[in-house]
Amino acid sequence: MTSKPYRIWFDGEFVAWEDAQVHLLTHTLHYGLAAFEGIRAYRCSDERSAVFRLQEHVDRLFASAHIARIEIPFTKEETHNAIIELLNINYLEEAYIRPIAYIGGGKVGLHPGDNPIHLAIAAYPWGTYLGEGALSKGISAKVSSYTRMGVNSFMTKAKISGNYVNSVLAKVEATSYGSDEAILLDSEGYVAEGSGENIFIVRNGKLKTPPLTSILEGITRDSVIKIAQDEGIEVEAERFTRDELYIADEAFFTGTAAEITPIREVDKRTIGKGKPGPITKRLQSRFFDIVEGKDPKFLGWLEFFSATAPLKVKSESK
């Protein structure tokens, strides 16, 4: 693991990047049960910075943990404050924030028993998720040979580490075939989501996105729906097939990491004109205005902080 000059919040203390270690017999390492989040903080136009929809992410972290029967030994408020403190302490004006609640070592075997639950939060700069030019030119995607896991096999509403085995397999497959990202179909063959994003299509001026049945309840997805409604664009949460995707006028992914990434090609079929379409561009530009605090209507989604006032480090090592 390459060292970074950032501290990590680990069970209530700040530790150096390289000291945030786990034991080999960590339960989660073997069985994949951990609840995690991906959150972004942006530098705003007025010298301040802001975390985008922080409370919703903290709520989803606790919802994922609840589904997984992981009892996080901190309150939502403590977690929320820890994230802001971490950004301050690291002077991070822009960051990707990764909280993870996991089951530690103790008894080996499937039942987590009394193994301790840990909460760790890392934050570091992370640029464009799908590579240079992804946001301005769009990316290529491949419908995966892997099916999105069924709703009674995995808990798709929960952001649980083990769920991502499906995503990692799909992502590696897609990139090894030369595509930038994978699109997974659900067990009935309808379009579900990307390996780490929700998906939207535009047809005849209307937006369509798969219903929440078998996908992650994306916070960016929810934001895009609300922005589109504000723009007077009709949005339907309705199932669609891969061939409807092929004949869409526009398509894009949404996610904290991916933000709003246009899709210009799927399975070697050009989508629309093969470049970001007008509705995608409109939503993308409104989204970036909002996260940068330039849109008074959506200021409620931002939690401002000043990364210029670091707090005192409580502890050097765990």
DSSP strands (E only) in 256-301: 259-266, 269-270
> How far is Cα 147 from Cα 188, in angstroms, rounded to an integer?
9
Does residue 218 interact with ligand PPE by CB under 6 A?
yes
Which of 20, 65, 174, 216 is the binder for ligand PPE (CB under 6 A)?
A: 216
Contacting range for ligand PPE; rule: CB under 6 A; set: 109-117, 175-183, 192-200, 244-252: 192-200
Least distance (Å) between residue 198 CB and ligand PPE: 5
Which range touches ligand PPE (CB under 6 A), out of 66-74, 139-147, 254-262, 277-285? 254-262
Q: Which of residues 54-73 bind ligand PPE (CB under 6 A)?
A: none
Work out whether 210 is an interface residue with ligand PPE (CB under 6 A). no
By CB under 6 A, how many residues form the interface with ligand PPE? 16
Per-residue tokens: 49:
């910075």
Mention every residue, 6+ apart, whose C-beta is less than 8 A from residue 40. Answer: 51, 52, 94, 95, 96, 97, 126, 256, 257, 259, 291
Which of 26, 79, 90, 220 is in the footprint of ligand PPE by CB under 6 A?
220
Q: 251 - beta bridge partners?
A: 201
Catalytic residue among 76, 137, 157, 159: 159
Distances from the Cα of 21 to the Cα of 85, 104, 118, angstroms: 21, 11, 12
Q: Does residue 193 belong to the site contacting ligand PPE (CB under 6 A)?
A: yes
171 is catalytic: no
Decide: 32 and 160 in contact? Cβ < 8 Å.
yes
| Nearest alpha carbon to residue 168 among 145, 195, 141 | 195
How many helices (H) and strands (E) the chain has is answered by: 8, 17
Residue span 18-47 as binding mask against ligand PPE, x where in contact by CB under 6 A, dash where not: --------------------x---------
Q: Please, which residue, 138 or 210, has the CB nearer to ligand PPE?
A: 210
Q: What is the DSSP string of 194-235?
A: ESSSEEEEEETTEEEE--GGGS---HHHHHHHHHHHHTT--E
Tell me whether residue 109 or residue 131 sits nearer to ligand PPE (CB atom).
131
Question: What mask, x for binding ligand PPE by CB under 6 A, covers residues 143 to 172?
Answer: ------------------------x-----
Q: Which is nearer to ligand PPE, 180 or 193 (CB)?
A: 193
Regarding 219 and contact with ligand PPE (CB under 6 A), the answer is yes
Piece of 172-180, 189-197, 262-270, 281-289 that binds ligand PPE (CB under 6 A) = 189-197
Smaller CB separation from ligand PPE, 86 or 115: 86
Alpha carbon distance 116, 291 (integer Å): 36
| Amino acid at residue number 23 | H
221 in contact with ligand PPE (CB under 6 A): yes
Phi-psi region of 21 (alpha: psi -120 to 50; beta: other; left: phi over 0): beta
Residues forming the active site: 159
Residues that bind ligand PPE (CB under 6 A): 38, 167, 193, 196-198, 216, 218-221, 254-258
